[in-house]
Amino acid sequence: MKTEFKSGKAGKRGDKIRSDCYLEIKLTKSGGIKISVQSKVGSLYGKSINELIFDMCKFFEIKNANIYLEDYGALPFTIAARFEAAYKSICPDDPREYLLPMNKNNFYKTEKDNLRRSRLYLPGNEPKYFPNAGLHKPDAIIFDLEDSVPPEEKIAARYLVRNALRAVDFYGAERMVRINQLPMGLDDLYFVVPHNVHVILIPKCESAMNVKDVEEEINIIKAQQNIFDTIYLMPIIESALGVIKAYEIATASDLVCALTIGLEDYTADIGVERTIEGKESFYARSAIINSAKAAGIQAIDSVFSDVNDMEGLRQSVLEAKALGFEGKGCIHPRQIKIVHEAFAPTQNEIEKAKKIILAFEEAKKQGTGVITIGSKMIDAPVVKRAQRIIELAIKNGLLEDGWMKNEKLSL
Amino acid sequence: MKLIKNAANRLVPSEVNGQKQIPFQGIGKYKPDGRKASPPIKSCIDYPSNGNKVVKNLKDALKKCGIKDGMTISTHHHLRDGDTLTNYLFDVIHSLGIKNIRWFPSASFPIHEHLIQYLEDGTIHHIEGSMNGPLGKFVSEGKMKGIGVLRSHGGRYQAIQDGEVHIDIAVIAAPTADPFGNANGVYGKSACGGLGFALADSQYADKVIVVTDNLVPFPCIPWQILGNNVDYVVEVESLGDPSKIVSGTTEITKSPDRLLIAEYIAEFMDAAGIMKEGFSFQAGAGGTSLAFIPFLKEKMKSRGVKARFVRGGSTKYLVELLEEGLTDYILDGQTFDLEGVRSMRENPNHIMTSPFVSYNYHGKGNIASMVDAAILGATEVDINFNANVVTHSDGYLLHGIGGWQNCLFSKCTILAVPSFRDRIPIIVDEVTTLCGPGELIDVIITERGIAINPKRKDLINAVKKSSLPIRSIKDIQKEVYEICGGKPQKPKLNKNKVVAIVKWVDGTVLDSIYKVEN
């Protein structure tokens, strides 16, 4: 027998829930829209909550429904995401999307060789972490739709991430999304590509084909929606096979901006424990660095999982830096500062870089193509590396922005 | 009830529970004259010459004190959320059939939810002191018979001293005491640290009962409370739950956003030149106002700077500063963890203070105004830097004032607050309840930026060159409104029904708290 009333639900409930909500929609035959709201912030935003729900009913042309909301101080982007997830669980074929206005601060772009020392993971189903993520000044934030989201929340997380990409300000951090393993990940793209995502992370990447599949799907979406911004790709190597194919993956597309490694899965794949010393992954990490450098892109390290061990983290980053990695994943905001400090250039590196930059400037002024320090010729890649060191030094407060002016005066 | 507008533009009653009130007149504007209240003269003739004042139980002691309807009974919050004694005290008072007591605690805690039945049946007429959690909710819903009176710790001393509140019977919980009534809080299974909050009561109450679960032979040393002020001593099996009296160890918040604020506080104190040789500061017990200490400590170490004294709310973090030689003294208002208790017991430079020395505004000065920086919390701050610490934006009374108002007199008062909690903006157009006038509040530090009171041009200049995110308060507010989905509605309050008043440190009435309508 066919059920008379269709119903859908989404979100979280319980004493410990914060900045989230639980929403149920029960479609009815008659009686109009009936809303029942229990909200922690009812006396402050009750009206606004009701208006949002009515507006969404209107948008999706829901005429008769009982809607129940249990609200633990969810921000509007979260309520809207929960509503849409609940509704789409009843009407999965409705193609309409209730898109919040794009935050005026969210139109910034990125570059292929953007600084990527730190990327802060945000589980896609935990909206409470979103609004303040950018305040901790990671180089990038990364919404995770993959491993940190339980299977039953995967679909709902897409709406949250989409709404957050539009409504939440990340204060200039590069905007990344880790999609699910293919093919599910290809569907994820529809929820993020149109909303100024900068980099897509492709998990468990094992072939150039994986990269090309993602690129192709992105191109389809871009063509459909008239999007012209470049979206870069960062494959994550998480298996023995992936390591073998690292160079093929790194060169699969011009859009690949970095290679990174997932050590939890990699160590599982080769059948060993992950240790702090990391001897077991030394080969894989080196292989990835080498492939990335051969392809002219960045090599980014895995995450450091013990959020309480700040000294261990620092050592781990220093080691990563020494091996050739340029960035590290962060699973807690407190890790960001340590990561930046550890990736910061040493005084010796800064002094060398300053000399190179000054020689470069001098050569430019002289109009000669040849840069020399003493009798030594300097190549373009060396200049580029020096520029990156200076940039890092300034970002870490080790060098003043106008250093060159002072330097020249002292000459 | 007749409400009049005070100097802060807030409507306040001219009479509360039958007592005439003076409306707030501005900071430093009201100066009373006359003489202090005085306790009755006693004679040794009436007390046992062998010094043994022990009576068989609390009921007996209360009867001997002549307990009757309408009296004022005071208690203290040294035992914090482990205080089963106060609950037991009112069980006894109830069993005696006494009605209409004015309960005058130095603070209340969630454990005192037990007393709601006595507020309902008329045993307690009203509370003068903090009304936290469940009691606050009860009061906010207009269910208390009388009107609540909220005072700061300093204001409580002032009210007793000035004769605004006459205490008939003070009941002092003492983790250690002798039969003469000397008492301290540093020994015994219920050790809680200092007993400073009970000082005024021991001096001014008509009758003083000391209740202990660790009776030692005379002399009880140190004697934080003097037996010469005590009428009766009662021995009980237990004062309360030790695990809730002090925490084993105080843990610093793990919230990255709060830690970010804490980091800004330390950076601000450094950049503004507050953190210099011989400086002083006051820290809190929880959240951000505790979390900044380790950050500040690192900076003190790296610059080779030492504090002359620190004030707390002592915890292991202040104790570490003392033991590592980064401060000469801890001047301790109350002790929050076992490390604090141990240090007070062992270290002569860890000093118990009372609200008289720290906070009393009607004295010949106090410590609060000598402190270089006080780091405090708030439930709301408005765009004129006025702050609220007792009600939430929904109008509910949920917290006491504590020493908060008194600390505003520090040389640099810093409120460390998140810019919003869940969906509740903390920076508002106008505070729901005014507890601290903006002219005393210098800096608001949030995770989204730091707002400096435009009056403090010196501070603005001092931090100009730092990399700190200095913003105007309105700018932060605007951003938060955008995040939260616009300006919040006003809660529905019954402006004809005052359920409690907020006193200023000088005893005048600063604001009214109204019944919340559902």
Residues in chain B within 8 Å Cβ distance of A131: 483
| Tokens 């600063």 sit on residue | B510
pLDDT tier for residue A378 given thresholds of 50, 70 and 90:
confident
What's the length of chain B? 518
Co-location of B478 and B332 in the same domain: yes
In angstroms, the separation between the Cα of residue B443 and the nearest Cα of chain A is 19
Residues in chain B within 8 Å Cβ distance of A72: 422
Contact B345, B255 (CB under 8 A): no
Co-location of B432 and B360 in the same domain: yes
Co-location of B483 and B371 in the same domain: yes
DSSP codes, A147-186: TTS-GGGHHHHHHHHHHHHHH---TT-EEEEEPPSTTHHH
Asked if B484 and A46 come within 8 Å (Cβ–Cβ), the reply is no
One of 3.40.190.10, 2.40.30.30, 3.40.50.1220, 3.20.20.60 is the CATH number of A118-343, namely 3.20.20.60
Co-location of B223 and B266 in the same domain: no
Amino acid A408: pLDDT:
63
Mean pLDDT of A275-287: 93
| Domain boundary pick from B203, B226, B245 | B245
Share of chain A above pLDDT 70, in %: 98
Distance CA A308, CA A310 (A): 6
Contact B176, B80 (CB under 8 A): no
Determine which of B298, B422, B427, B475 to mutate to test the interface with A (most A C-beta atoms within 10 Å): B422
Co-location of B426 and B462 in the same domain: yes
What are the pLDDT tens digits along chain B (518 aa)?
789 999 999 999 999 999 999 999 999 999 999 999 999 999 999 999 999 999 999 999 999 999 999 999 999 999 999 999 999 999 999 999 999 999 999 999 999 999 999 999 999 999 999 888 899 999 999 999 999 999 999 999 999 999 999 999 999 999 999 999 999 999 999 999 999 999 999 999 999 999 999 999 999 999 999 999 999 999 999 999 988 888 777 788 889 999 999 999 999 999 999 999 999 999 876 788 889 999 999 999 999 999 999 998 899 999 999 999 999 999 999 999 999 999 999 999 999 999 999 999 999 999 999 999 999 999 999 999 999 999 999 999 999 999 999 999 999 999 999 999 999 999 999 999 999 999 999 999 999 999 999 999 999 999 999 999 999 999 999 999 999 999 999 999 999 999 999 999 999 999 999 999 97
| Tokens 């100009």 sit on residue | B464
Residues in chain A within 8 Å Cβ distance of B485: 45, 48, 52, 75-76
Asked if A135 and B447 come within 8 Å (Cβ–Cβ), the reply is yes
CA-to-CA separations, A14 to A11, A71, A85, A117, A304, in angstroms, rounded: 11, 10, 19, 37, 31
| Tokens 């790194």 sit on residue | A250
Co-location of B121 and B231 in the same domain: yes
Contact B288, B261 (CB under 8 A): yes
For residue A239 the two structure tokens come to 């298996």
Start-to-end Cα distance in chain A:
90
pTM (whole model) above 0.90: yes
Asked if B260 and A397 come within 8 Å (Cβ–Cβ), the reply is no
**CA neighbor of B453 nearest in space, from B414, B418, B480:** B414
Residue B416 is assigned to a structural domain of this protein = yes
Determine which of B423, B481, B515 to mutate to test the interface with A (most A C-beta atoms within 10 Å): B423
Co-location of B430 and B460 in the same domain: yes
Residue B95 is assigned to a structural domain of this protein = yes
What are the residues whose beta carbons fall under 8 Å from the beta carbon of A148, sequence distance 6 or more?
A: A121, A123, A124, A125
Count of CB atoms within 10 A of residue B99's CB?
16
Distance CA A364, CA A366 (A): 5
For residue B230 the two structure tokens come to 């005590």
CATH no. for residue B440?
3.40.1080.10
What are the residues whose beta carbons fall under 8 Å from the beta carbon of A186, sequence distance 6 or more?
A: A179, A213, A214, A217
Residues in chain B within 8 Å Cβ distance of A48: 485-486, 489
Residue B225 is assigned to a structural domain of this protein = yes
Distance CA A144, CA A162 (A): 12
Co-location of B231 and B261 in the same domain: no
Determine which of A135, A306, A331 to mutate to test the interface with B (most B C-beta atoms within 10 Å): A135
**CA neighbor of B516 nearest in space, from B157, B4, B138, B91:** B138
Q: Tally the domains of chain B.
A: 2
Residue B29 is assigned to a structural domain of this protein = no
Domain ranges of chain A: 7-90, 118-343, 347-410
In angstroms, the separation between the Cα of residue A332 and the nearest Cα of chain B is 8
Looking at every residue in chain A, the average pLDDT score rounds to 93
Distance CA B209, CA B239 (A): 14
The domain of B124 spans 53-128+165-245
Q: Nearest by CB to B260, which of A46, A52, A135?
A: A135
Distance CA A75, CA A91 (A): 24
Amino acid A334: pLDDT:
95
Amino acid B102: pLDDT:
98
Q: Strands across the sheet with B148-150, in order?
A: B148-150, B493-503, B509-516
- B484: contact with A, CB 8 A cutoff: yes
- B34: contact with A, CB 8 A cutoff: no
Co-location of B398 and B428 in the same domain: yes
Amino acid A409: pLDDT:
53
For residue A380, pLDDT beyond 90: no
| Domain boundary pick from B223, B245, B267 | B245
Amino acid A1: pLDDT:
45
Asked if A72 and B422 come within 8 Å (Cβ–Cβ), the reply is yes
Name the closest residue on chain B to residue A334, using Cα atoms.
B256
Amino acid B313: pLDDT:
85
Residues in chain B within 8 Å Cβ distance of A169: 479, 483
In angstroms, the separation between the Cα of residue B387 and the nearest Cα of chain A is 18
Q: Nearest by CB to A397, which of B256, B424, B467?
A: B467
Co-location of B226 and B367 in the same domain: no
In angstroms, the separation between the Cα of residue B273 and the nearest Cα of chain A is 20
Amino acid A364: pLDDT:
82
Residue B18 is assigned to a structural domain of this protein = no
Share of chain A above pLDDT 90, in %: 81
DSSP structure class, residue B130: -
For residue A174, pLDDT beyond 80: yes
Co-location of B184 and B303 in the same domain: no
- B260: contact with A, CB 8 A cutoff: yes
Amino acid B67: pLDDT:
98
Co-location of B358 and B473 in the same domain: yes
Residues in chain A within 8 Å Cβ distance of B256: 132, 136, 332-334
Distance CA A201, CA A149 (A): 15
Q: Nearest by CB to A43, which of B484, B486, B489?
A: B489
DSSP codes, A55-85: HHHHHTT--SEEEEEEESS--HHHHHHHHHH
